[in-house]
Amino acid sequence: MEIYEDSVVGKVTLSHSAKAKNIGLKVKPDGEVVLVVPHGISVDRAVDFLKSKYDWVLSHTVNRSKIIYDETTNFETLTFKLFVRRGDDDNCRFCLKRGELYVYYPHSCDVKSDDVQRLIKLGIEKALKSEAKRILPSRLEMLSKMFGFKYESVKIQGSHTRWGSCSGRKNINLSCYLLLLPIQLVDYVLLHELCHTVEMNHSDKFWKLMDNVTDGRAKSLRTELKSYSATL
C-alpha cells in the first residue's frame, strides 16, 4: 500500500495487486479512495484512469461536502459573502449586490433539508458563474499583458475537476470555482494556463517559466493549491 496525493480528490490509496486483471477504483464507506493497480501496470497509467473517473469519485466521496449552509454559516468567496435567510413566503430568491449574496429559502422548509441545501448551492453556483465572467477574463488579460503572453480566447466553465486548461490553439478554459481560492492562487492558475500558451507540457522549461512569473514560488503555490477543492 502507498499513498498518492491527487490535486482533485486528495489522498488516494494505491493497492498493488497480483490478482487483479484491470485497474480498479472504489470509495470505502469512510470516504477512503482506493486505486487498484494490477501487476505490470504503471502507476502513471493507473493515475490517468483515476483522472478519467474524477466526476464519479467526487460523487461518491463521503466528505465531498460537509458544510451545512444556514443562517450561521460563514462562507466567503473572492468577491462575495453568503447570507442565508428564511423567506417570507414559500419561494426561493437570490440577490447578489455589493459583495453580498442573500439566499432566501422557503418559509415552511427546514434549512437543513436536502432540497433547501440544493437550492442554496444553486444560488451560490449562479453567483460564482456570474462573478467569474465579470472578474476572470479581465484579470487574465491583465496578467497576459504584464508578462507578454498571447492567447486566443477565454471561456468560463463550471468544471469541478480542473481549475483551468489551455488547448493547443491557445484557447483557455477557467472554472468559476476559482473564486473559492485566495487571489494569489487564482493568479497562479491563470499564469499556469498562460504559460501553457508557450510550453504545452509540464517540462522543466514550463516550470522555469512558471518560476519566472511567480517570483520563484511556483512549487509552493502548487502545493498550497492542493489543499483546495472545486466543490461546494
Return the domain boundaries, the chain.
Answer: 2-64, 81-130, 133-225
Assigned CATH topology for domain 133-225: Zincin-like (3.30.2010)
H or E element in which residue 166 lies: strand 164-166
Tell me the residue length of the chain: 232
pTM for the complete prediction? 0.73
Quick: pLDDT tens for 86-123: 999 989 999 999 999 999 999 999 999 989 999 999 99
**Which 3 state secondary structure label does DSSP give 115?**
helix
Residue 29's pLDDT is 63
For position 62, what pLDDT does the model report? 47
* Residue 109 CB burial class (10 angstroms; 0-12, 13-18, ≥19): middle
As a whole number of angstroms, the distance between CA 167 and CA 36 comes to 31
Average pLDDT score over the chain: 91
- How high is the pLDDT of residue 66? 61
- 64 pLDDT higher than 60: no
Average pLDDT for 177-189: 96
Distance (Å, rounded) from C-alpha 213 to C-alpha 232?
A: 30
Closest CA to 119 of 69, 174, 51, 183: 69
pLDDT in tens, 148-159: 999 999 999 998
Q: Distance between CA atoms of 107 and 207, rounded to whole angstroms? A: 53
